[in-house]
Structure 1
Amino acid sequence: MNRNELNPDASPEAAYGARLRSLREARGWTQDDLAERAEYSSVHVSAVENGRKPPTLRFSRSADRVFGLEGAADSFERQWREIRHGSLLEGFPEYVGYEGRAVEIRLFEIGLIPGLLQTPEYARTVADGDVKRGAITSEQAEERVAFLAERQAALVRPRPPMVLVVMDESCLRHEVGGGEVMEGQLRRLVEVASLPNWVLQVSPFAIGARRSFNLPVNLLTLADRSVVAYAESQARGHLEREGTAVVSLLTAYHQLQAEALSQAASVAMISKLRKGAP
């Protein structure tokens, strides 16, 4: 039987297929063996491995069950969702893979509440706004909201990461979805601030030119203490794993934390906004 070479760099689907074959062969299974375990035909397995047929959610979940990857950070279901999320900025799906394994997460956001803190109602309103602008389809909006819920759920684990968040004041004052949605979102912020592994700070407008960043920034510390940085503009995202750029961003983040309001003062500002005070 001829065994064609696979190029995982050809496309996300090709990477999926190459990984599927690698895990199958590592166990000494033929395509027939995998097909029987996954309850698919060997023709279907071959087509997915060779990139002739795109993977589906059902197939991915079957593969996760067979390989013992259900709920894992590197599950086939997660890889399938990354393939499906063509509307996400470049580098972001890869960043999320690191996020699910990070021991410390540092976030800075402007204009919108950071995704990891968004309520379902807030997240839905943001996604629906993108649909109305024609930026994404209704199906992509559904996927975005589901993807965000998965990211949030991944933080709930026996040893959760330490999450440090600095939000520009504009995140709180930019009303999304009306009063009821915002009240629920602000209440969520206060609740999260009481958790032992979360620190929330607000960068007030009064900080002026002392604010370190003009774009959102995410910094992840992994178990080996290495740091991964992700920053994005309106058009693209950029993932940085090593080098002086990451160190520079980490230094700037520490400077931002020093200039921002304390968590107590930040919660006080959020509570005032919930009461309708300016």
Structure 2
Amino acid sequence: MVNRKELNPEASPHAAFGAKLRVVREAQGLTQDQLGSAMGYTCGHISSVETGRKVPTLRFSRQVDQALGTANTEDSFERQWREIRQGSLLEGAPEYMGCEARSAEIRLYEVGVVPGLLQTPEYALTLAEGAVLRGSITEEQAAERVQMIADRQEALSRRSPPMVFVVLDESCLRRPVGEPTIMNAQLEYLMEFADRPNTMVQVAPFDLGARRPFDLPIYILTMPDRQLMSYAESAQRGHLDRESTSVLPLLTAYHQLQALALSQAASVAMISQLRKGTP
């Protein structure tokens, strides 16, 4: 075949995904164009995934499985995609994200940076690129992080989206990330997010001082069956807690934090003022 690129599945997890895709596709007698048409993708997109130039998404993996008949099998592409993604996550994070996507209510408190569920693509990319420059992650892992954020945000647009309660430490708004235009767009998006019918955005101002009940970020989920769970991260690991005896006090503390934080109207006013102060 002309211009057929030799694949090296050992080069990276994404290269292994692409090599497997080529093997299964050709075993079924399909061209890239035929597979792309069945999935709603271009021939070029299929080629880019097979050669490792493009990172596969969850949506892509699921559609490959449907087109090739590998859904719900041990060799499914969705399963391989999840294994790739989990390789760059802290312990507990994959399970948390699976629960987050099905939750009825999400409560989160973040310090220092805008949380992933509310990040614009440009803001997320800037943070990921910063981590690459520090040497803490690879460029491939940076791409995975940005894609993970996009995948998590998809759950907020489902037919019955969860209620999302957000309390941002004031540092999330005042810490510049990237060029002023990136920060400006991020602040504008926070205002738009606060205007949704299923969201509540509040700012915990610096002057709360010792009254602040949390020193570190915290995520609390309420599942459709009203089960509670919490998730928190340290530098080296994440911890998912399903025990109501330990999660209930966190929920109480979160309610106290909401009572101490600025109202949504005052929070949006602060965000607007900061946005106007950026070029």
TM-score normalised by the chain length of structure 2? 0.74
**1:147 Cα offset (Å):** 1.1
C-alpha deviation, 1:67, in angstroms: 6.5
| Aligned match of 1:171 | 172
Distance 1:109 1:79, change over 3 A: farther
From the superposition, tell whether residues 78 and 256 of structure 1 become closer, same or farther in structure 2 (CA, over 3 Å): farther
Structure 1 match to 2:137: 136
Once structures 1 and 2 are overlaid, which stretch shifts more, 241-250 or 138-147? Answer: 241-250
CA distance in 2, matches of 1:251, 1:198: 19
Q: Deviation digits for residues 37-84 of structure 1, max 9, x if unmatched?
A: x75769xxxxxxxxxxxxx96876533553667xxxxxx655434321
Structure 2 counterpart of 1:101, which letter? R
2:103 aligned with 1:102, yes or no?
A: yes
**CA-CA distance at 1:137 after TM superposition:** 0.5
Percent of pairs identical after alignment?
56
Aligned to 1:232: 233
**Could you say what the CA RMSD is over the residues aligned between the two structures, in angstroms?**
2.3
For residues 142-184 of structure 1, give each alpha carbon's deviation from its aligned partner in whole angstroms, at most 9, with x where no partner exists. 1110111011012211111100000000000010002111000
DSSP 3-state at the match of 2:160: coil
The CA deviation string for residues 203-239 of structure 1, in whole angstroms up to 9 with x for no partner, is 0001001111111101111110001110111221100
Q: Residue 104 of structure 1 contacts residue 161 of structure 1 at CA under 8 Å; is this kept in 2?
A: yes
Q: Alignment partner of 1:155: what SS?
A: helix
Q: Distance in 2 between matches of 1:165 and 1:59?
A: 31
1:62 matched to 2:64? The reply is yes
Q: Is the CA contact 1:163–1:197 (under 8 Å) kept in the aligned structure 2? A: yes
- Are residue 265 (structure 1) and residue 254 (structure 2) matched? no
Counterpart in the other structure of 1:153: 154
- Asked if the contact 2:70–2:77 (Cα under 8 Å) also holds between the matched residues in 1, the reply is no
Asked if the contact 1:61/1:77 (under 8 Å) is kept, the reply is no
- SS of corresponding position for 2:65: helix
- Unaligned regions of 5+ residues in structure 1, if any? 1-37, 43-55, 70-75
Contact 1:165 1:199 in 2 (8 A): yes
TM-score (norm 1): 0.74
Q: Distance in 1 between matches of 2:249 and 2:79?
A: 31
